[in-house]
């Protein structure tokens, strides 16, 4: 079952809380100025810029690529893997 672009943005915004919700209200006004329809891609791009900048994403990629189980138990390794998300 597919969702419309508008529904995706609405649902994405619905789960935002506190500061993120306040940020989105302001960002939505700027993005939607002049009647521009805010797409899911626009929402994701702005959200990632604000809350998961490229330098942080790049560091996470490096951490992920360098992750080895080594002497860790499976549970420890799984916890470390999940902490990268």
Domain residue spans of the chain: 1-51, 54-85
Contacts of 21 (CB under 8 A, 6+ apart): 13
Share of the chain above pLDDT 90, in %: 82
- pLDDT for 35-74, tens place per residue? 999 999 999 999 999 999 999 999 999 999 999 999 999 9
- What is the reported pLDDT for 1? 58
Residue 23: pLDDT band with limits 50, 70, 90? very high
Q: What residues have CB less than 8 Å from 8, skipping those under 6 apart?
A: 40, 43
Res. 12: pLDDT tops 80: yes
Per the prediction, the chain carries an average pLDDT of 93
Closest CA to 45 of 31, 59, 29: 31
| Residue in this structure with the two tokens 């490096």, named with its chain if needed | 62
Angle at 56 between CA 9 and CA 24, to 5 degrees: 25
The predicted model scores a pTM of 0.72
């Amino acid at each position: 079952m597919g969702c419309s672009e508008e529904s995706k943005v609405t649902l994405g915004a619905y789960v935002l809380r506190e500061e993120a919700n306040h940020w989105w209200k302001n960002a939505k006004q700027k993005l939607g100025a002049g009647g521009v329809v805010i797409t899911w891609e626009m929402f994701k791009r702005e959200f990632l810029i604000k809350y998961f900048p490229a330098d942080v994403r790049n560091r996470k990629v490096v951490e992920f690529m360098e992750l080895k189980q080594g002497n860790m138990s499976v549970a420890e390794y799984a916890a470390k893997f999940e902490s990268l998300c």
